[in-house]
Structure 1
């Protein structure tokens, strides 16, 4: 009688490795950088406009329009390079390996500055709620960098934690927006009706500063190299979903917060606070404001983590890139 053997069923993936959880962790952790830019890009634009709130919404609308074009570009790059590399891989293939160092250098600077700016902004968010901590600003920022660097050692679990931080900020931002619809204007900070130039020139000069909102848009095209458990179609799908989800979240929150800041009259804040903090203070109760500041600080940590993920992902993708002759 022939011997019958049975093949044990393939073990079901654990919760942390199921496709939906993996997509949640990847998408919301990687999008943290552009989402966090909302916390300072609107204020940066207003400062460049010399506090002219009337020009703030057109400026941010122009920035969101450019972000749409960037997303469309990276949508194509993710399709062409599902193993990662993004703009650097495309440049190298089109113009030679030497030319690839231009986007590589730009991205390295972007990753380093994102970590530094996010940590500094996170420290400012903490100080905005507890002003007595102002003398410890630098120490707080350095400690935040150390915390983020440590969190990235936990791989997918770390990404999940940072993704939860991002979702928490989005939820509190929605709460601030909804609450702000039912309060009367509460002017705060410094405003002006004179941007220093004609409206068109003022918007053009503020635009480069406001483009801080676009930092991290390229991250999915590099970070997908870290998804070794997926095949090329899976990485392509994850990258594209993340790009368009990022646009929906960032575009909506940016324009909504900008419109609310204009309606409530929230101008350029003093040095120990931020515009988004003053907006939340004017629009919500103290407990919600406290929660919003906490989630803002956590979001900025998550943004720094996205650079810790995208940087190695970029180098990993480029290191395994092969020429047409197989070398």
Structure 2
């Protein structure tokens, strides 16, 4: 039943050789990997105006040169990540760049930052989209958390169905949002050019502003750079592209950068020209749409597509997180389970982990994740900075053709990124201090996982020059714990006798009468196997059985014999039947498998009803 339900939700399993069919075309990749970056248009320009508004609305003209600064950083990042795509075609982005050029510790800081950032991407995006829905339908506001968790569950499920299927479903809202904003910009600019918008409703460029400072401008610039979150996602997901993957990924990144630059600059310009000021009750984008179109069908279409893309921005995290987790797991810094493909050939463990982590974050913060946006931005700019620095080291070390131009691009990007990080930590330390705990904690966990895998690998490594054919068989002492005389025990005794002539059945009873009855029944059965009975007045089975096995083990070690415990275990036909029986057998096995040099074998007996 559960299997059929899984097939309905996720779809039929795919063969490994069908992996190529799950590769993304540029059209689909642009939608699924750019949704986070493109969705930031909904709040990036507004963040600039919010900072400038603390001085005066006259300061709003500064949004234009600040937007130019953001576009310069965007260009540097796009050019840099194009270089990263070609240099590291197997994905991994900032993690791979920093690890190879700056050292493992910096790579892990980049990887940890991005993993945390992708969780924040999902939580923040879905919560923002949920707010947009409840703003339209206020009666739903009290159910924000449930709605947000439900939306994450749906997006998780869609991604579990496969990359191409999720891209096919989610591409339409992304392109609808881009089309809606382009139509808004064209209409707005047309009204400006034709004189339908008064030039007196906005401050003139160059107007002196009392109280403005370089520090405030830099703070507004860093806030506006929140529009660049998600730019790195394509470089992390290069293996998801159709061949030639690097070329297709680089082309898609360039197109994304162009679209993002046009939309960002257009919205900033129109917001300035129309004299839009940020308010608590209405977003800048909503005010701009209302000013250009009025409250008609075009306005509501823009609002609907904005809410949709804010929700679907989470999908960038679902596309990039599993691949980054795969690269970390491949290097033994995350559990090996993250390298396994699911039924639909996606890295389903990464998808499920991201979904559950973001749901937990939404529940903890009750769907109000505004305070996480600065932390979200810091989580992006740390790997931005490290990847830029790593590429600088790479060009200096390798000196390929045209390396000076490449070095200049990364140097400019690195300086701006470090500047933004410094501004974030100075101006918003109260909101970003958590990154100083969570990111080092993630790196510490990575190291512990790595140490475990290295230790296990060393212990499991065997010398193949020692030929097994030369090793003599040792005597095997087989112990069979029995709870009575049943078909389960009969099957286990037969199997034990096939392993050795030295088989001991062990029965633990809570009274002398039960021991006597068991001896009497065992004698009548005539198994040819010695029965040892142990009295346990406190009704514990595990303690006396363990002590007996330790005694036998000590004697076996002295005679260089091997001890094997054969556990009889019946298996219920239906899962809920297991609840009706005690689990003493599993408790015994859990205890025994931790003992050195004791082999534990389960002999299952399948119940038919």
Length-normalised TM-score, structure 1 = 0.82
Alignment equivalent of 1:29, drawn from 23, 29, 32 = 32
Q: 1:49 to 1:126 in 2, by over 3 A?
A: same
CA distance in 2 between counterparts of 1:194 and 1:136 reads 47
Q: 1:195/1:237 Cα in 2 relative to 1: closer, same or farther (>3 Å)?
A: farther
Structure 1 55/238 Cα, relative in aligned 2: closer, same or farther at 3 Å?
same
Cα distance in 2 between the residues matched to 1:307 and 1:153: 13
In structure 2, stretches of 5+ residues that fail to align are 1-17, 333-609
Q: How does 1:162-201 map to 2 (within 5 A)?
A: 162-180=170-188, 181-182=190-191, 183-184=196-197, 197-201=211-215
Alignment of 1:54-203 (within 5 A): 54-155=61-162, 156-180=164-188, 181-182=190-191, 183-184=196-197, 197-203=211-217
Q: Which of 260, 278, 289 is the aligned partner of 1:268?
A: 278
Computed over aligned residues only, the root mean square deviation of the Cα atoms, in angstroms, reads 2.8
Contact 1:222/1:317 (8 A) holds in 2: no
- Distance change in 2, residues 1:197/1:34 (3 Å): farther
* CA positional deviation for 1:90: 1.3
CA contact (8 A) 2:129 2:310 kept: yes
1:282 is aligned to 2:288: no
Which has a greater percent of strand? 2
Q: Label 1:242 to 1:261 Cα distance change in 2 as closer, same or farther (>3 A).
A: same
Tell me whether 1:225 sits opposite 2:232 in the alignment. Answer: no
The residue aligned with 1:40 is 43
Shift in alpha-carbon separation, 1:258–1:226, aligned structure 2, 3 A: same
State whether residues 184 and 264 of structure 1, in contact with CA within 8 Å, keep that contact through their aligned partners in structure 2. Answer: yes
Q: What is the distance in 2 between the residues matched to 1:187 and 1:134?
A: 35
Aligned partners of 2:108 and 2:81: how far apart in 1?
18
Deviation at 1:132, TM superposition (A): 4.6
SS in 2 for 1:31: helix
TM-aligned CA distance change 1:124 to 1:276, over 3 Å: farther
Q: How many residues align?
A: 299
Alignment partners' CA distance in 2, 1:46 and 1:157: 39
Q: Is the 1:196–1:202 contact (alpha carbons within 8 Å) kept by the matching residues of 2? A: no
CA contact (8 A) 1:45 1:209 kept: yes
Q: Is the 8 A contact 1:41 1:211 kept in 2?
A: yes
Q: How big is each residue's C-alpha offset from its partner over 1:48-77, in whole Å with a ceiling of 9 and x where there is no partner?
A: 112542111222221121111111111111
**Counterpart for residue 206 of structure 1:** 220
Higher Cα radius of gyration:
2
* 1:307 Cα deviation from its structure 2 partner: 0.7
| Residue 152 of structure 1: how far off its partner (Å) | 1.4
Shift of 1:91: 1.2
> 1:49 is matched with which residue?
52
Between the aligned partners of 2:28 and 2:235, the Cα distance in structure 1 is 16
Secondary structure at the residue paired with 1:26? helix
Which is richer in helix? 1
1:257 to 236, 254, 267: 267
Q: Output the CA distance in 2 between the equivalents of 1:226 and 1:107.
A: 18
Distance in 2, matches of 1:161 and 1:87, equals 29
Residue by residue over 1:279-311, the C-alpha shift from the partner in whole angstroms, topping out at 9 and shown as x without a partner, is 112212411111111111111122100111101
The 3 A distance-change label for structure 1 pair 143 and 187 is: farther
Q: Is the 8 A contact 1:129 1:293 kept in 2?
A: no
Moved beyond 6 Å, runs of 4+: 193-196
- Structure 1 residues 53 and 214: CA distance shift in structure 2, 3 A: same
Correspondence 1:216 to 2:236: no
Structure 1 regions of 5+ residues with no counterpart? 1-13, 323-327
In 1, Cα distance between equivalents of 2:224 and 2:254: 20
Does the CA contact (< 8 Å) of 2:115 and 2:324 recur in 1?
no
Deviates more, 1:33-42 or 1:131-140: 131-140
The verdict on how the C-alpha distance between 1:47 and 1:66 changes in structure 2, with shifts beyond 3 A counting, is: same
Q: 1:79-131 deviations in whole A, cap 9, x for unaligned?
A: 01111011111111123323211101111122122112211221233244344
Task: Describe the shift of the 1:130–1:61 C-alpha distance in structure 2 as closer, same or farther (beyond 3 A).
Answer: farther
